[in-house]
Each structure stands twice: as structure tokens, then as C-alpha cells.
Amino acid sequence: MNSKVKEVLEWGYCIIIALVLAMLFRYFIGTPTIVQMSSMYPTLEQNQRLWLNRWGRTTKTLPERGDIITFEEPAVTGYSESEIDQSNPVAKYEERKGFDWFVKNFLEIGKRSYIKRVIGLPGDHIEIKEGKVFVNGEQLEEPYLQPGVVTDVIGPGFDDFTVPENCVFAMGDNRNHSTDCRAFGCIPLEKIESKVALRIWPLDKWGKVE
């Protein structure tokens, strides 16, 4: 093998190793992202850049109430009145295995994710009524909402239920413009991808997101 071919192969190996390490870091540790929609306004605005912490997924740790998380889009994002089951308020997902799972979840090709705020934790009784959110019988204080914002369930949805084990209930801060757990149910732990750690752009708003 001549020296030029050997040099090309060595560079090729280095590039492959670097790509693998980058993908592993992105999946298990963290990654940047761009806000695409307005469902978390005014907390987050379109085109802002965020840093996502994925260590919680790696350690299989549930987020806390108030955390802003990303999760995989459910297979079904809305139900008819007859399909709503308040006793089993868990979002439905397609089961993926093998190479299909690798492409969708690890490489994130053809995958859509939502970004929402955690409102309910396992065992919490959630009620949405009178334009407000009640957790275990007490009205939830939500200082992150714009003045005058009301929380309703538009159309058939989940408005009186208990959050199942290893699941969270999450909603967007821009309640009237957010498709969230009110429509499709609670998110299982294994479908939670990350927690928003920092806003990294624009620079004048750099810092922790709350």
C-alpha cells in the first residue's frame, strides 16, 4: 500500500470516528436546535436557538414540573369524542424496531418533535376548567403565561384525568395556538427526548430558559 492511499484511509477512519462520536454526543448528551413554531410564545420565539440537554433521556430520569422539554410527535394527535378515554390518557406511538428505530430516533431522519412545558407529573390529578389548570385540586400558578391567557380544551380532549406512571402532561405556553397533551394525552418517559437547558441565540437573550 503506497503512502498516499494509506493517508487517505487514515483520514477516512478519522472522519468516520468523528461522525460516530458526534452522533453519540447528540443522542446521549445534548444538541442545539431551532424553535420552529410559536406554541411556546412568549417564553420562546420562532428562530431562537436553544441548547437541549439529553442526559435525562440517557439516565431515564423524569423532568420536573415547569421544565420545558422536547418529545417525539405521537402517531395520533387528535381524537373524536368517542375515542377519548380519560382513564387511560396516554399518547399513542407506533412501535419501531431495528433499522427503522435507528433511522428515526438515532439519526432523526423524518422525525418530528414537539417542545412544551411540563404541567403534570405521575399521580397528579389534572383538571382543566374555567379557563384554568388545577393540579390535585389547586389552581396552578403560571407566571410564564401572557396576561389574559385562558386554558381550554378545544374540541375533544383530555381535561379531567390522573397522569399515569412514568408519564408527564405537557402544554405550550401559547395555549390557544398549541397542539399538546390536551389533544393527544400524556407523554411516556421513553418518548421524552430532552430538556431545554439554554437559549443560545439571540445573544441578548442568552441564558437559562424558565
> What is the extent of the structural domain holding 27?
3-202
Confidence band for 98, pLDDT divided at 50, 70 and 90: confident
pTM score over 0.85 = yes
pLDDT surpassing 70 at residue 62: yes
Q: What does the pLDDT average to over 128-153?
A: 96
Q: Half-sphere exposure (CA, 13 Å, Cβ side) for 147? A: 0
Is 139 a member of any domain?
yes
Q: Which residues is 162 bridged to in the sheet?
A: 125
What distance in Å separates the CA atoms of residue 206 and residue 96, rounded to the nearest whole number? 37
Is 209 a member of any domain?
no
Confidence band for 111, pLDDT divided at 50, 70 and 90: confident
Is 54 a member of any domain?
yes
DSSP state of 205: G
The CATH number of the domain holding residue 130 is 2.10.109.10
Q: What does the pLDDT average to over 111-115?
A: 94
Is 207 a member of any domain?
no
Is 9 a member of any domain?
yes
Total number of domains constituting the chain: 1
Q: What does the pLDDT average to over 144-149?
A: 94
Q: What does the pLDDT average to over 85-102?
A: 90
Q: Half-sphere exposure (CA, 13 Å, Cβ side) for 139? A: 9
Q: What does the pLDDT average to over 12-18?
A: 90
